[in-house]
Amino acid sequence: MTARCAPAEITAYLHRHIPVSAHLGATVRRCDRDGVVLAAPLAANINHRSTVFGGSASAVAILAGWTWLHFALRDAGRHCRVVIQRNSMEYDAPIDGDFTAECAGMPAAGWDKFLETLRRHRRARTELTAVLKLKDATVARFDGEYVAVLLEAGAADSA
């Protein structure tokens, strides 16, 4: 997946099409069939307690799932609009340093079913999870439901 794009290119894409990603300082460390790893600095996301603001942590987690799904669909030759429908976060510990959000994507069987649903109904939904880590410790867990809507050939979509 994304063999044509290096992490820096994907980061630039996100910053251009999803401006909050630049404000969060989010960068792509890895994006492939096995998942996405985004990194974000404490400094851009700090709150009054010198930890990461919960909304920033949630936004980076949402972005991790969105990035994986968007680029997986693109690599599968599907031009889609991808949106988050609902999500939840559980915070296990304060995030008091630079952190990562890791989304493992979907297993192959689930991916095949998702693509078939998209083909038949022009839309499909899936649940993706992400873990937020500080160093090697898991500090938060994210569950999100994303919807992909197949666009007409040549249809413009800003992200």
Interval 92-118: pLDDT, tens: 999 999 999 999 999 999 999 999 999
Q: What residues pair up with 89 in beta bridges, in sequence order?
A: 142
User: Residue 152 has what pLDDT?
Assistant: 78
Pairing mode, strands 123-134 and 99-103: antiparallel
Q: Long-range contacts: 38-44, Cβ < 8 Å, 24+? A: 38/63, 38/64, 38/67, 38/100, 38/101, 38/102, 39/98, 39/99, 39/100, 40/98, 40/99, 40/100, 40/101, 41/98, 42/95, 42/96, 42/97, 42/98, 42/99
In this predicted structure, the answer to whether residue 155 has a pLDDT above a threshold of 80 is no
H/E stretch holding 140 reads: strand 137-150
- Size (the chain), residues: 159
* pTM, two decimal places: 0.93
In this predicted structure, the answer to whether residue 5 has a pLDDT above a threshold of 50 is yes
* Angstrom distance (rounded) from CA 126 to CA 101: 18
158: confidence class by pLDDT, cuts 50, 70, 90? very low
* Angstrom distance (rounded) from CA 120 to CA 112: 12
* Angstrom distance (rounded) from CA 86 to CA 149: 16
User: Residue 132 has what pLDDT?
Assistant: 98
Q: Give the domains, in start order, of the chain with CATH numbers.
A: 7-150 (3.10.129.10)
Do residues 31 and 64 lie in contact, with contact meaning Cβ atoms separated by under 8 Å? no
In this predicted structure, the answer to whether residue 2 has a pLDDT above a threshold of 90 is no
Interval 50-99: pLDDT, tens: 999 999 999 999 999 999 999 999 999 999 999 999 999 999 999 999 99
**What are the structure tokens assigned to 82, written together?**
């991808």
